[in-house]
Amino acid sequence: MRNNSKLANIYLGFMLVVMYLPIIIVIVYSFNSSRISSIWGGFSLKWYEELLRDRSMFDAAKNSLVLATSSSVLAAIIGTLAAVGMPHVNLRGKGVVEYISTLPIMIPEIILGMVFLVYFALIGLPFGMVTLVIAHTSFCIPYIYMLVKARLVGIDKSLAEAARDLGASEVRVFFDITLPLILPAILSGMLLSFAMSLDDVVISIFVTGVNTNTLPIKIYTQLKTGVTPKINALSTLMLGVTLLIYILSAWIGKKGSHREDLQMEGK
């Protein structure tokens, strides 16, 4: 048993090194004073300073923030309404509909990007921020839907029934009872969707326009001409923002579950 445990620890350590060593190297070389990324020339912050002076990077970052915010908000509205309304729909193929609604996160991104490309071309929709928002919202909806659906399962249905018995309408029940209870799941899903949209490059390449550039696409295009420490600096900043978003999402979800447990214990 001890030998199996040692082998498991060795395997786990090896996998962690394989997964995270490239990320650590990128972070370390973002502080490299040399212009050649593969040669260490000493510690320096000049690439972060150059990054802050790059106007095109700021424009791409602004587009990415607008895109991620719009997509996460729209996905939150659509996903929440779908999760709340689906149990009340008497539909023979409801299970199939629920399965189809989660397909965007299971389909490979390159296939999903080609599908959006063909669809937008067929309907004649100009490629740009609008097509980016539609595409990103589509693959963000399942994250909101699944989190809110899981949250609804743990809510005591007697709370909504008691509100209805007291004369509250369905709209009042939703805003006064259901929404406060599922709000942590909505916020957690929005943060997760924001991070997924902010980092997406495959789908964005297929549906973006000539005059619309996002941060991941700009990084991808610059990689073709060679990796500079400025790209490493930008990747480090994006990694930090993404990690903060994921941590905040997990914290909100855990806090909401803890609050629900306290409410159940109080009963």
Predicted TM-score (pTM) of the model is 0.77
Span 216-235, pLDDT tens digits: 888 888 777 766 778 888 88
Span 62-116, pLDDT tens digits: 899 999 999 999 999 999 998 888 877 777 767 777 777 778 888 888 899 999 9
Q: Are 79 and 143 contacting, i.e. CB atoms less than 8 angstroms apart? A: yes
Indicate whether 18 pLDDT > 90.
no
Q: Are 117 and 209 contacting, i.e. CB atoms less than 8 angstroms apart? A: no
Task: Give the CA distances from residue 265 to residues 257, 258, 260, 261, in Å, rounded to whole numbers and listed in that order.
Answer: 12, 11, 9, 6
| Domain range summary for the chain, segments of one domain joined by + | 55-266
Span 156-191, pLDDT tens digits: 777 777 877 777 777 788 888 888 888 888 988 888
Pick the closest to residue 30 from 244, 242, 238, 228 (CA basis): 228
- Fold entry, domain 55-266: MetI-like fold (1.10.3720)
So what's the pLDDT on residue 127?
A: 92
Q: Rounded to an integer, what is the distance from CA 159 to the centroid of its chain?
A: 32
